[in-house]
């Protein structure tokens, strides 16, 4: 009698295994889009004068990167290779339009400040780069996580720059939001709203508001990161 073979049980892939976690965590440190891949630097110079502005931009890029990765991965087998970049641009442009209109309805003053830069997400190298390098060759869930990870990595640098530049350039934190604080200067309301607040002697330096300061800060972050992780020295 022929031997009956038992059906082989296929192991189901975990939704949050070590590989999936790596897709989200790696872009925060070892493969950061700005400090390691050196992408998206132009927008980092322009939108980090205020922390709240940097936060809005970070959220916008993360949403666009994540969902453009997801949709491109879902459609990758139906997109002709010759027109793949045109199809990708259509997906990105649609998502950017949704994000821009939502921001316009929810936070009009910030939309006025960021409208040009939100539109330029379409040309952001990080978004298109992840579509070409990852989403066109991987499954939707992993592509979605890859988009979230790269968006968060980009956003982490933006927010860090925004905090430093706003505090030392304007003396405030989260200006333009309902949670605005006066951090330094004679009228600081930080530390129990006393006149002898932390760094009350410091006069905000307008140099920190200039794009050049962001360039120097990014350079310092890159230097510190590569000093701590020599393996990254020859990466970019």
User: What confidence score (pLDDT) does residue 158 get?
Assistant: 96
**131, 88 Cβ separation under 8 angstroms:** yes
**126, 61 Cβ separation under 8 angstroms:** yes
pLDDT tens profile 182-225:
887 665 555 545 454 556 677 788 889 898 899 999 999 999 99
Cut 0.75: pTM above it:
yes
pLDDT tens profile 21-57:
999 999 998 899 999 998 989 888 889 999 999 999 9
If 0-12 CB within 10 Å is exposed, 13-18 middle and 19+ buried, where does residue 75 land?
Answer: middle
Interhelix angle for 51-75 vs 84-106, to 10°? 140
The CA-to-CA distance between both ends of the chain, in Å, stands at 63
How many angstroms separate the CA atoms of 128 and 135, rounded? 10
């Amino acid at each position: 009698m022929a031997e009956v073979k038992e059906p082989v049980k296929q192991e189901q892939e975990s939704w949050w295994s070590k590989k999936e976690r790596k897709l989200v965590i790696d872009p925060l440190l070892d493969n950061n889009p700005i400090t390691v891949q050196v992408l998206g630097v132009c927008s980092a110079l322009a939108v980090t004068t205020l922390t709240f502005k940097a936060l809005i931009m970070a959220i916008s890029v993360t949403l666009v990167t994540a969902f453009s990765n997801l949709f491109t991965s879902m459609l990758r087998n139906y997109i002709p290779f010759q027109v793949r970049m045109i199809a990708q641009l259509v997906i990105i442009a649609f998502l950017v339009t949704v994000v821009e209109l939502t921001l316009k309805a929810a936070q009009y003053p910030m939309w006025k400040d960021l409208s040009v830069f939100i539109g330029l997400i379409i040309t952001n190298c990080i978004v298109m780069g992840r579509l070409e390098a990852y989403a066109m060759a991987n499954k939707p869930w992993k592509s979605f996580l890859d988009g979230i990870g790269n968006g968060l990595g980009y956003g982490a640098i933006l927010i860090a720059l925004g905090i430093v530049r706003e505090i030392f350039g304007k003396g405030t934190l989260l200006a333009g939001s309902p949670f605005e604080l006066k951090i330094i200067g004679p009228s600081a309301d930080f530390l129990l709203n006393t006149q002898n607040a932390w760094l009350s002697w410091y006069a905000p330096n307008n140099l920190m508001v200039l794009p050049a300061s962001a360039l120097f800060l990014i350079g310092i972050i890159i230097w510190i990161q590569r000093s701590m992780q020599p393996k990254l020295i020859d990466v970019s």
